[in-house]
Structure 1
Amino acid sequence: MSADLLPLAGIKVLDLSTLLPGPLATLLLAEAGADVVKLERPGRGDEMRSYLPRFGEASANYAVLNRGKRAYGVDLKDPVQRDRVLELAAEADVVVEQFRPGVADRLGLGYDAVCAVNPDIVYCSITGYGASGPHASRAGHDLNYLAESGLLGVVVDATGSPTLPVTVLADIAGGTYPAVVNVLLALRRRDLGGGGAHLQVSMTHNLQVLAYGYFATHQAGGGWPRPSAELLTGGSPRYHVYPTSDGRHIACAALEQKFWDRLVELVDLDQRFRDDEGQEQAVIAALGARFAAEPSHHWRSVLDGEDVCTVVVSTWDEAVAAGLLDVDAPERVAAPGTGRSFPTLPSPIAQGLRGTPSTTAYPSLTDLGDDPPWG
């Protein structure tokens, strides 16, 4: 697709964020055609540049999150450089920042300061705990947000301990995606004559969307989920993870009756356990014994091709071989000055809404001069 036909062609984004939530959000905006300028600490740059493994002068993590942007080192505490940043903000359509509440204001780059030079700005603040309240100023990471929102304790192991989540859910589902959605909505409202906006994105508060079922149950019935005792948290044999004899696992999600009936037939579950209502723990034990009696390749041969919503838990290599994990995306990220590149993170932006696949470098960190950095 021609660059000038991309949905966000002509939109200028000033990215003051670091690590994952904000940079991933501005990457998605860039995928749709936005021009993103990222400001980082002088010298070291974004903390994620130092992560391992390395890919050229920065980390592979940094590379996949920041390809196609430009990056400049800026000392935001220097009044002269701060004023230069305000000049950039005056030309921008969107500003994304990820400081703790009040920090951007103290630097002279908060919403009020930017709005004074650019009343139509869409200013997005991504925080851990929200803009106000007793937790607002606290430091935190993904695991902290999951823990304090109540989600981390919903599923526990045999000792009653929560386990580490499979990925950084709060950063992406509570930070990145709400930020992108709200920026796009604010830009649309601005197009309709509604002016700019200050968007507050709290990663912890947005996690309640992931807890929608627990929330609904509480509002209607007054109770909160019991750890590992609800339908989707381990209390039902129909939605459970079972070990196999070779140390692999089966992910069972046979919730609907037709799937459950076929599953218990396939695994030859004892007749007295086929009706699980009221004897869930006994059925979990019985079904677990059946799965534990055979290796994963046996169960794969039994389950493949059957509509039972029950599968062997894949390794990374198996997911790639099945075409469910794409490590050969046509878009590639390059390490500046090395001639090296690799297929980058597949974009969730539909192909018809982003540019033609290409090889794009992640940005080297340079000084912010007087010349306009916008493309």
Structure 2
Amino acid sequence: MLPLDDLTVLDFSTLLPGPLASLFLAEAGARVIRIERPGGEEMRRFPPRFGETSAPYAVLNRGKASVEIDLKTQNALARLTPLIAQADILIEQFRPGVMERLGFGYAALSRINPRLIYCSISGYGQSGPRSAEAGHDINYQAVGGLLGQSLKRGETPPLPPPLVADVAGGTMPAVLNVLLALRQRERSGRGCHLDIAMADAMPTFAWYGLAQGQAAGRYPEGGEGLLTGGSPRYGLYATADGWFLAVGALEPKFWEAFCEAIGLEEALRDDRRNPESTRTAITRLIAARPAPHWRELLEPRDCCCTVVRTLEEALADPHMTARGLFDAQAEEPGGRRLVSTPLPLAPVFREKLAPLRKVAASGDDTDALL
């Protein structure tokens, strides 16, 4: 028995935030039905291919049913009404106003099913000056002040690898608020409309800078913050073989253990005097030895220093595999299998997951469900 195995989710969303949110719900037991346009949603065409489908689509959509329907046709609402009437949750990811124009807005659907929890995920939310504006993850990070925390004026940095706005601003708040809405519905008997804006969560990740700025009367410039480049105790250092050591030795006990291990001279260990001199010395010391040396020397010392792993190395990491993060598999329509997107569900739930679930071809369940 799983926590959500008595719930039905209609997922009208595309690409990443919504489908990842419905994957969380599916893995917790919910029945998820993807509502896709004729030919399937955009992600089905994303490279690379894996057998008969897209690999990015497969890892996000295992275990979900698929219905194809053109929402612009006159009878679309009538055809979907039986599913809407029995659904508990609806997830959509169109720009604000699109679902209303199609006849599928919250007001219309709540008349069909007053208990429906209707979750709208968008870039800037359902209201506000930017609500109709197009954007992607990097734009939401930019507008919310998150990117500016680590950018130094005049320097061109590498792109940040995590899609923070999509996952932490879209998926995670959607799942959290859906669960809160379910709890509220237990008391009131009614559903609600959730307005999830990816940009809204970006200042959340700048929490430390917000506190600093208000207390000190000056907000830190890019690269000045404790966790964004302002301290030699927290950052990336290049090794002799061209790879990187991640140092997070913020607390005194970790910092002292790190300094002792690398042989940093005593005069530079008080990094408050001249942080840049300390950083320069550490940079020189770390650059003198290859990554395997630092892995062997520092990781056993428990001083918050870790050699960066590639994604391929992470897949084989003994800790990651012991936690079961890569156990779930998706099987594409042709029968080939690949590791599904790992989800940070508590082990008490993850242990109960079906290790293998199929990825439906677009429209596989249209006749059965409509």
Is the 8 Å Cα contact of residues 13 and 36 (structure 1) preserved in structure 2? yes
Residue equivalent to 1:183: 178
Per the TM alignment, residue 8 of structure 1 is displaced from its structure 2 partner at its CA by: 0.8
Aligned with 2:209 (options 190, 199, 214): 214
Distance 1:207 1:193 in 2: 31
Alignment of 1:184-203 (within 5 A): 184-203=179-198
Is the 8 Å Cα contact of residues 154 and 162 (structure 1) preserved in structure 2? no
Alignment of 1:323-342 (within 5 A): 323-326=318-321, 329-336=326-333, 338-342=334-338
Per the TM alignment, residue 278 of structure 1 is displaced from its structure 2 partner at its CA by: 2.8
Per the TM alignment, residue 221 of structure 1 is displaced from its structure 2 partner at its CA by: 3.5
Give the TM-score taking structure 2 as reference length: 0.93
Residue equivalent to 1:230: 225
Distance 1:189 1:328 in 2: 31
Residue equivalent to 1:129: 124
Is the 8 Å Cα contact of residues 25 and 176 (structure 1) preserved in structure 2? yes
Alignment of 1:20-169 (within 5 A): 20-43=16-39, 45-156=40-151, 159-169=154-164
Deviations 1:329-359 (A, max 9, x none): 33221111x2222232233223433544332
Comparing 345-354 and 248-257, the one that deviates more: 345-354
Deviations 1:32-80 (A, max 9, x none): 111111111102x111101112123221111111111111111111010
Is the 8 Å Cα contact of residues 140 and 198 (structure 2) preserved in structure 1? yes
Deviations 1:79-120 (A, max 9, x none): 102332233212211110001111111111011011111111
- 3-state SS of the aligned residue for 1:349? coil
> Structure 1 residues 328 and 369 mapped into 2: Cα distance closer, same or farther (>3 Å)?
closer
Is the 8 Å Cα contact of residues 89 and 118 (structure 1) preserved in structure 2? yes
Distance 1:82 1:139 in 2: 27
Q: How many residue pairs are counted as aligned between the two chains?
A: 367
Distance 1:57 1:113 in 2: 37
Instruction: Answer yes or no: is 1:361 the counterpart of 2:358.
Output: yes
- 3-state SS of the aligned residue for 1:79? coil
RMSD of aligned residue pairs (Cα, Å): 2.0
Distance 2:285 2:88 in 1: 59
Aligned with 1:322 (options 298, 317, 326): 317
Comparing 201-210 and 220-229, the one that deviates more: 220-229
Taking only the aligned residue pairs, the percentage that are identical comes to: 47
Comparing 173-182 and 74-83, the one that deviates more: 74-83
Distance 1:225 1:324 in 2: 36
Distance 2:239 2:207 in 1: 32
Residue equivalent to 1:6: 2
Distance 1:142 1:39 in 2: 24
Distance 2:80 2:365 in 1: 9
Is the 8 Å Cα contact of residues 65 and 364 (structure 2) preserved in structure 1? no
Distance 2:369 2:187 in 1: 28
> Structure 1 residues 112 and 106 mapped into 2: Cα distance closer, same or farther (>3 Å)?
same
AA aligned to 1:357 is A
> Structure 1 residues 249 and 353 mapped into 2: Cα distance closer, same or farther (>3 Å)?
closer
Instruction: Answer yes or no: is 1:346 the counterpart of 2:342.
Output: yes
Deviations 1:143-164 (A, max 9, x none): 1111111111221369423431
Residue equivalent to 2:293: 298
Distance 1:76 1:273 in 2: 65
Is the 8 Å Cα contact of residues 145 and 203 (structure 2) preserved in structure 1? no
Task: Mark the runs of 5 or more structure 1 residues left unpaired by the alignment.
Answer: none
Distance 1:329 1:322 in 2: 11
AA aligned to 1:176 is T
> Structure 1 residues 292 and 153 mapped into 2: Cα distance closer, same or farther (>3 Å)?
same
AA aligned to 1:358 is P
Per the TM alignment, residue 131 of structure 1 is displaced from its structure 2 partner at its CA by: 1.0
Is the 8 Å Cα contact of residues 145 and 206 (structure 2) preserved in structure 1? no
Residue equivalent to 1:17: 13
